[in-house]
Structure 1
Amino acid sequence: MWTIPKPKYRRGFCAEGEIAVNIGGVRAVLFGDVLNRYPESRLAELLNCSTQNPERISSLCDDFDPGRREFYFDRDPDAFKCIIDVYYFDEIHIKRGICPICFIKEMEFWKIDQNVLDECCKTYLSEKEEELNEIAIKVKVILEDLVVDQCITRRQRCQRYLWKLMEKPGSSLPARTIAIVSFFSILVSALVMCVGTIPELQVTDAEGKLVEHPTLEAIESACMLWFTAEYLLRLASSPNKLHFALSFMNIVDFMAIMPFYVVLSLNYLGNSSMMELANVQQAVQALRIMRIARIFKLARHSSGLQTLTYALKKSLKELGLLLMYMGVGIFVFSALAYTMEQSHPETLFRSIPQSFWWAIITMTTVGYGDIYPKTTLGKCNAAVSFLCGVIAIALPIHPIINNFVVFYNKQKVLDTAAKHEVELMELKSGREAQMLSLHSCVVNFANLTVLPATYSMVQRSS
């Protein structure tokens, strides 16, 4: 609700101390004392500018009618209705339907500082800026795949070709084949690791101990050689090797490869009597457990797993609340269960820390049955605990799922927008080439006015 008189949208002459502006065909009469609240703004400068200085006036507006003292601006009237709020309320809200990036340009034109934006609009603006940055990054990646620089050396061309072959499955059929082979190698390696623990498929070594079958070891060795060659080729072709080595997924790849060679080294040292055999075997068993890290290599080939990872990172607050709820519930109900069960001679609750395990499996509705209450009060406490556990788990689940759906849909939209921007750039470059070949100003003007909004999008993304 307006607590200060609104700007007057009317026809006719403006009185003394007022200023008339025409914004895209919408005329408004503004009060001088209101405009002087922001003396550095464009409207305040026009108000205090002398009509005898046409050069100064022309630099501040698009046209001027000295008889009616009316200033003309070829700007968006809807955005101006938001801009004018700063003179009355000392803050600005971006109305629905107005592009926030274009609105910031309007604020810069009217010389209004961005700090007057309300906090909600600043958040909305930052989200849109992040989306544009992500689109720009995706466009840059696509253009890097499409652009072929003829000036680079043969070595650089080979490095770029190898990088696309190892990192861009969609760039060519060989690259897609390598990605499929790598994907199935990960699955085979994980399957061999699991099957190798079946006692019926193990063999007895010279000391009478069960070890993996030699065939399974050979298959695993072949997979590890493939992973090693793939990692080294990707590292050699990487344009930024330090960034490549410090990338999270590449660290996972390295951690999945490293135990294999460490085990080989320890076995060699053990056979050479340089180390005690017992210590070597213990180290080998510990390092073999690290083979499970190779399953995380699937995330590099699955956009769905990557989206799930990003969504969980966005849901850290909700996950923290879930852990806090469960932690409080586990502490409370385990202490109550221990206290209530002490009256029973055959109680299974020996201590509160031991009762933590019962509280965890009860609140998560797992219920192994290894520890259970025997008194009436203990059973009532158990009923309340699993009801509270269901509620505590259910409350943060919806925000987490919603974050995943929103992030997944957003990534699809951004991918489509990036491809669309690239298509528009190609269309623009094709039209420019056509216009240069025609050598006609009339044809140039006709071609340039076909997609004005399209070219503005291209310029913004570039």
Structure 2
Amino acid sequence: MAGESRFPDVDSNGSEKNEDIEIIVNVGGMRQVLYGENLNQYPATRLAQLINCLSGGYDSIFSLCDDYDPGKREFYFDRDPDAFKCIIDIYYFGEIHMKKGICPICFKNEMEFWKVDLKFLDDCCKTHLSEKKEELEEIARRVQLILDDLGVDASENRWKRCQKYIWKLMEKPESSYSARVIAVLSFLFILISSVVMCMGTIPELQIVDSEGNHVEHPTLDNIETACIGWFTLEYVLRLISSPNKLHFVISFMNIIDVFAILPFYVSLILTHLGAGMMELTNVQQAVQALRIMRIARIFKLARHSTGLQTLTYALKRSFKELGLLLMYLAVGIFVFSALGYTMEQSHPETLFKSIPQSFWWAIITMTTVGYGDIYPKTTLGKLNAATSFLCGVIAIALPIHPIINNFVRYYNKQRVLETAAKHELELMELYSGEGKVGGSKNELEDLMGEDKERPSWSRQLKVSHSDTFIHLLSDEKHYRTRLQSCK
């Protein structure tokens, strides 16, 4: 009948008791029967609001769901059914666990759609979410850097444009052919300088000065001077063109650069001016100490090597494992050195004179180096030595696997982030229909947008429906449907 009501039965007060209401939700083809008694535990959620909207008419119902069948009292949602299976756990267990294989960012968007607070997500799952956010922040940062490099702001003066050009030339080898040439030259100068430093210590290549001292060959000294001149020029240009001078100066790699350059000039000053102010012997000792600091230049290779940078990061993330390794070795060294000293005292020609002296024997034994300068001579001492190197092998092997995992994880992550950033830029190029991302002022304005708070190129990333969409670049809320994939 036309006048028949299509809504649920109501009591004499005009409304059905919420606790007695039974509804059916169909999420992506998965049907679930829910009861008002459970849903009303969290009245702010979307499912709880479904019960309260039944008496509000179709406008109220369709503001919460995609479709509604009044005969079956069934609500339809075009959402991810796998994520929904996890979210409804809140009504039964009071917490939510994210299934393995679900994208954390997509799951977060699903929770926002169902109006479930993130505080109900278990701590173990929040860790995955925070890791994913960090990845998106890194992708956004990389995309922003690439766009900044490609864009040219005509409003900047000539010095600013020149400064930016020099910075890209010295710091970003991938920006141009000239930058790649400079990076290769810098790498070669580092290698040449390191080789010259080693060859200068060969007695056959040294000469005797007027005072009878062996000094480096003048040819090697000239090559060293040329390398230092390049390092100095490189550092000065990078410092002048740096957008943030303070951050540049306190950066670890730039401090390494200073330590690689400074000994040359200090030794030069001491050689020419220090002799008149102090004894010649003291000057020579100071110069020799400064020359040893030249080994710091080998660390400059880390600037041009992704592998060394990855190794450094892996070691930083493995402080706990390295601490365990040192603790195991320290305990073993103390125990076995004390036992070795005690067991070897009965031998008249013992090499274990004291426990501190036995530390050296324990270290080289547990690390399986075995120089043989100190060794046990008694039967018990030999048994103690065998036990010590077996325990040393076990102590060293245990923490190595997590350290290797940290290295592999970070290395693979960097490759994925680099690929994701390039993927976003390619999608932007396809969407804009241009052969390149930026270059002219108009193109850059199209990418960066007039609104500084939300760049317009972030909207281009949204329209591309990328699987690595950078949510953090946009203030808008975006929800994936069950038809959209997440890789």
TM (norm. structure 2) is: 0.83
Alpha-carbon separation, structure 2, partners of 1:359 and 1:144: 56
AA matched with 1:123: T
Change in 2 beyond 3 A, CA 1:251/1:118: same
Is this contact kept in 2: 1:341–1:373, CA < 8 A?
A: yes
Confirm or deny that 1:332 pairs with 2:335: yes
Counterpart-to-counterpart distance in 1, 2:32 and 2:254: 61
- How many Å separate the matches in 1 of 2:329 and 2:385? 14
1:251-297 deviation per Cα after TM superposition (whole angstroms, max 9, x unaligned): 111111111111122223224x1333333222212211111100000
The higher-RCO structure (CA 8 Å, 6+ apart) is 2
8 A contact 1:186–1:298 mirrored in 2: yes
- Partners of 1:403 and 1:50 in 2: how far apart? 53
Q: Is 2:406 the counterpart of 1:403?
A: yes
- In the TM superposition, residue 369 of structure 1 has moved relative to its aligned partner by 0.8
1:437-462 Cα deviation digits (max 9, x unpaired) = xxxxxxxxxxx9xx976357446374
The amino acid that maps onto 2:471 is R
The verdict on how the C-alpha distance between 1:13 and 1:24 changes in structure 2, with shifts beyond 3 A counting, is: farther
Tell me, in whole angstroms, the C-alpha distance in 2 between the residues paired with 1:428 and 1:148: 21
Answer yes or no: is 1:347 the counterpart of 2:345.
Answer: no
Q: Which among 426, 429, 432 is matched to residue 432 of structure 2?
A: 429
Deviation at 1:56, TM superposition (A): 4.4
Q: 1:36 offset after TM fit, Å? A: 1.5
Identify which of 79, 82, 92 aligns with 1:75.
79
Matched residue SS, 1:454? coil
**SS of structure 2 residue aligned to 1:27:** strand
Deviation (angstroms), 1:144: 2.4
Distance 1:377 1:432, change over 3 A: closer
Shift of 1:25: 4.1
Which residue matches 2:35? 31
Distance, in Å, in 2 between the alignment partners of 1:429 and 1:250 is: 39
- Counterpart check, 1:308 vs 2:334: no
Partner of 2:377: 374
Following superposition, the deviation at residue 356 of structure 1 comes to 0.3
Amino acid corresponding to residue 116 of structure 1 in structure 2: F
2:466 & 2:332 partners in 1: Cα distance? 58
CA distance in 1, matches of 2:405, 2:24: 49
Instruction: Name the SS for the 2:248 alignment partner.
Output: helix
Which of 94, 99, 104 in structure 1 is aligned with 2:98? 94
Q: Partner amino acid for 2:465?
A: T
1:177 aligns with 2:188: no
Q: Which residue in the other structure is 1:275 paired with?
A: 278
Matched, 1:123 2:122: no
Corresponding residue for 2:196? 192
Q: Is the 8 A contact 1:421 1:461 kept in 2?
A: no
C-alpha distance in structure 2 between counterparts of 1:255 and 1:61, whole Å: 65
- What's the offset of the Cα at 1:62? 3.8
- Conserved in 2, the CA contact under 8 Å of 1:13 and 1:68? no
* Cα pair 1:22 1:28 within 8 Å, conserved: yes
Counterpart amino acid of 2:305? S
The residue number in structure 2 matching 1:454 is 465
Are residues 399 and 459 of structure 1, via their aligned partners in 2, closer, same or farther at CA, if it must alter by over 3 Å? Answer: closer
- Letter of the 1:189 partner, please give it: S
Fraction of identical pairs, as percent: 71
Q: 2:254 aligns with which of 247, 250, 264?
A: 250
- What's the secondary structure of 1:51's corresponding residue? helix
Q: Do 2:328 and 2:395's aligned partners in 1 also have CA atoms closer than 8 Å?
A: yes
Alpha-carbon distance, 1:346 to partner:
1.0
Matches within 5 A, 1:136-147: 136-147=140-151
SS for the counterpart of 1:170 is helix
DSSP 3-state at the match of 2:173: coil
Aligned residue pairs, count: 434
Gaps of 5+ in 2: 1-6, 10-15, 437-458, 474-487
Q: Does 1:85 align with 2:89?
A: yes
The 3-state SS of whatever aligns with 1:123 is helix
Other-structure match for 2:113: 109
Offset, 1:226: 0.5
Q: Which residue does the alignment assign to 1:159?
A: 163
Cα deviation for residue 148 of structure 1 reads: 2.8
Distance 1:399 1:431 in 2: 46
Shift of 1:27: 3.4
SS of 1:206's equivalent in the other structure is: coil
User: What SS does the aligned partner of 1:200 have?
Assistant: helix
Question: Structure 2 counterpart of 1:343, which letter?
Answer: S
Classify the secondary structure of the residue corresponding to 1:373: coil
Which one is further off, 329-338 or 57-66?
A: 57-66
RMSD: 2.5
The match for 2:230 is 226
CA distance in 2, matches of 1:285, 1:395: 41
Q: What are the residue-to-residue correspondences of 1:14-29 with 2, within 5 Å?
A: 16-29=20-33
Shift of 1:333: 0.4
Q: Superposed, which structure 2 residues align to 1:375-394 within 5 Å?
A: 375-394=378-397
One-letter amino acid of the structure 2 residue matched with residue 412 of structure 1: R
Normalised by the length of structure 1, the TM-score is: 0.88
How far, CA to CA, are the matches of 2:128 and 2:330 in structure 1?
35
Give the drift of 1:330: 0.6
Cα contact 1:136–1:418 (8 A) shared by 2: yes
Amino acid of the residue matched to residue 202 of structure 2?
A: I
Q: What amino acid maps onto 2:331 in structure 1?
A: V
Letter in 2 for 1:120: C
Contact persistence 2:96–2:120 (CA under 8 A): yes
Q: Secondary structure at the match of 1:60?
A: coil
Aligned residue identity for 1:248: F
- Any idea what the Cα deviations from partners look like across 1:22-46, whole Å, max 9, x if unmatched? 3334433211111121122222233
Matched-pair contact (CA < 8 Å) for 2:28–2:81: yes
Are 1:269 and 1:275, in contact at CA under 8 Å, matched by a contact in 2? no
What corresponds to 2:270 in structure 1? 266
